[in-house]
Structure 1
Amino acid sequence: MTTTVLQRFFDGDVWYSFRTSPVAIGAAVIAFVCIFCAAFAGYVAPHNPFDLATLELGDARLPPAWMDEGSTKYLLGTDDQGRDILSALMYGARISLFVGLASVVLSMVVGVGLGLLSGFVGGKTDAFIMRLCDVMLSFPAILVALLIDGVGRALFPNAHDSLAFTVLILSIAVTKWVDYARTVRGSTMVERNKEYVQAARVIGVSSLRIMRRHVLPNVLGPVLVLATIQVAQAIIIEATLSFLGVGVPPTSPSLGTLIRIGNDFLFSGEWWITIFPGAMLVLIALSVNLLGDWLRDALNPRLR
């Protein structure tokens, strides 16, 4: 069974589109390297930048290894506390990717569920959900995320890091579920009038089963494309919140926190403290966006 599914995938149009697209292959390689280094930072990183026992203040603000006064021990230099920039990038990217992926999964579950319900049931339920979407769309995503994150930290000022991560993930998910709901609603309204849905209703299949077993698989294509693109958006929003000081805790800095720390030393000559985290953020976001663009084209039958 597994062999048959894999064989059908490798013989399909999606895999052919991928292996014939240099941009998609390059983006996939960059994304894989970034994700691998972030996921296995504890094994790949040359140092643990957040272990206070290993920090040496005498090595603070060292430039990259290829510059004068640089050290091969720290390939990309160190920050103001002597932390290895390369290792900090790997650990910081792990936090950014975790927050981005978790918020996208949560927003996708909520948005797809409400979109299915709105498009299939219609009537007052559809009107209520769509008006709620209109209200959410009238506020900028960053503003809503800032508001929710700020309120959460005000209500729980002494919260542990895990709760701070939860508040951050919720604040991003609340601003992103609307896109899934509107996309799935439009696709569901098309699918609900097709013959296979009418036949299922005639034989007495419940509406919930029809939505879950028949309609949902046929509307997942646009959802997967949207989810891929929104991973990059969620990572950027998390970095923005962390840059503004309302993101992840300072004890577990993400890429946004590293950029904010390095920004204080940008004009004093230590450019590597902020440039390299910024470049890492751009690489992750750009590679994921390029994969999303490729997936959108690959799943569009009009472009085949």
Structure 2
Amino acid sequence: MRRFFEGDLWHGFRTSPVAIVAALIAAACLFGALFADVVAPHDPFDLATLELADARLPPAWMDEGKATYPLGTDDQGRDILSALMYGARLSLAVGIASVLLSMAIGVTLGLVAGFTGGRTDAFIMRVCDVMLSFPSILVALLIDGVGRALFPNAHESLAFGVLVLAIALTGWVQYARTVRGSTMVERQKEYVQAAHVIGVAPLRIMRRHVLLNVMGPVFVLATIQVATAIITEATLSFLGVGVPPTSPSLGTLIRVGNDFLFSGEWWITIFPGAMLVLIALSVNLLGDWLRDALNPRLR
């Protein structure tokens, strides 16, 4: 730990105001999402606590607003601030889980393609080309639609898994192409040639030596892809094919509020949209800083 705080990475973070602000915003959003049960003023999904008489209340600083609902309420009387915390929890869970899955698939295929070469490399790259020829949101819609058609009465956990799989299968290509390029460079270096000479198995070389040296760009890409995955999940939920309505994410909250945007209840959709922008922007800024910090040529 002491070595980390004395290293260049921590020094670069301390001297970057943008990275510090982005980290604080991301940490606040993550804290609110993880501990929504504790810090949220209300439980927006407990039907016993909802008051229809409090529906469509404006934020507390406006006329007719109440201090118990700082950001107002939606059409069912749910507290917007509490709904944001619970919705951000689901959006972050989907985003992080899908990025981890796509990273596992992409890194594995990219490592195999770059290290073995030949027909295996050509086949994997042609699959990547096919995946890149389709818009990612269209592929996610297709996979999610097929999953819902096969399991129309699926449990929420299964629907969550289908959504994660739909996003992951559209995001692994970037990892595969990035790792393949780095692996093709690493396999020509002396330490890999020496491992071949002394009889180390190719799988062990890939796992113990090459993998560790190609993970730098992967971590940067994963940081940025978290924001992309969250936006993709919000888009799918906005279109009505995301998470179930009983567990609304930020995309679902935006879709619900969109019906009341032109009737004057702007806070129902503006605040979830602002929350989504804050999360995506802070994660992207952290990813940009990490890219610059890990690349000496950009310092």
Shorter-chain-normalised TM-score: which range?
A: over 0.9
Query: Any gaps of 5 or more consecutive residues in structure 2?
Result: none
Superposition deviation, residue 301 in structure 1: 1.3
**Which residue is equivalent to 1:120?**
115
Aligned position for 2:218: 223
Choose which of 82, 91, 94 in structure 2 pairs with 1:99: 94
Decide which of 103, 112, 125 is 1:108's aligned counterpart: 103
Q: Following superposition of structure 1 onto structure 2, how do residues 63-82 of structure 1 map, counting pairs within 5 Å?
A: 63-82=58-77
The residue that corresponds to 2:139 in the other structure is 144
Letter in 2 for 1:153: R
SS of equivalent to 1:175 = coil
The amino acid across from 1:78 in the alignment is T
Corresponding residue for 2:196? 201
Please tell me whether residue 56 in structure 1 is matched to residue 51 in structure 2: yes
| 1:214 aligned partner | 209
Q: Specify the SS of the correspondent of 2:73.
A: coil
| Structure-1 residue corresponding to 2:173 | 178
* 1:213-268 CA-partner distances (Å, limit 9, x unpaired): 10001000000000000000000000000000000000000000000000000000
Indicate whether 1:43 and 2:41 are aligned. Answer: no
Q: Indicate yes or no: 2:22 matched with 1:27.
A: yes
Question: For each residue in 1:48-84, what CA deviation from the matched residue of structure 2 results, as whole angstroms up to 9, or x when unmatched?
Answer: 0000000000000000000000000100000000000
Q: Which runs of 4+ in 1 moved over 6 A?
A: none
3-state secondary structure, aligned to 1:245: coil
| Counterpart Cα distance in 2 of 1:191 and 1:70 | 62
Q: Secondary structure at the match of 1:74?
A: coil
- Residue from 118, 124, 130 that aligns with 1:129: 124
Alpha-carbon distance between aligned partners in 2 of 1:82 and 1:214, rounded to the nearest angstrom: 56
C-alpha distance in 2, partners of 1:127/1:91?
Answer: 44
Separation in 1 of the partners of 2:5 and 2:68?
43
* Distance in 2 of aligned mates of 1:8 and 1:179: 32
Deviations 1:135-193 (CA, angstroms, capped at 9, x unpaired):
00000000000000001001110101011000000000000000000000000000000
Which amino acid letter does the alignment assign opposite residue 197 of structure 1?
Answer: V
Match 2:239 to one of 241, 244, 252: 244
- Whether 2:259 is the aligned partner of 1:264: answer yes
Aligned pair partner of 2:3 in 1, 8, 11:
8
1:13 positional shift: 1.0
Number of corresponding residues: 299
TM-score w.r.t. the length of structure 1 is: 0.98
* Aligned counterparts of 2:208 and 2:108: Cα–Cα separation in 1: 13
The residue type equivalent to 1:223 in the other structure is V
In the TM superposition, residue 283 of structure 1 has moved relative to its aligned partner by 0.1
Tell me how far apart the structure 1 counterparts of residues 4 and 62 of structure 2 sit (CA, whole Å): 48
Select which of 151, 163, 178 maps to 1:168: 163
The structural deviation recorded for 1:303 is 2.2
| C-alpha separation in 1, matches of 2:297 and 2:151 | 51
One-letter amino acid matched to 2:175: Y
Amino acid at match of 1:90: M
- Distance in 1 between the 2:8 and 2:124 partners? 36
The yes-or-no answer on 1:278 pairing with 2:273 is yes
Who is 1:17 aligned against? 12
Query: In 2, Cα distance between the equivalents of 1:29 and 1:237?
Result: 24
TM-score by length of 2: 1.00
Query: For residue 88 of structure 1, what is the amino acid of its counterpart?
Result: A
Report the Cα offset of residue 8 of structure 1. 1.6
Letter in 1 for 2:147: G
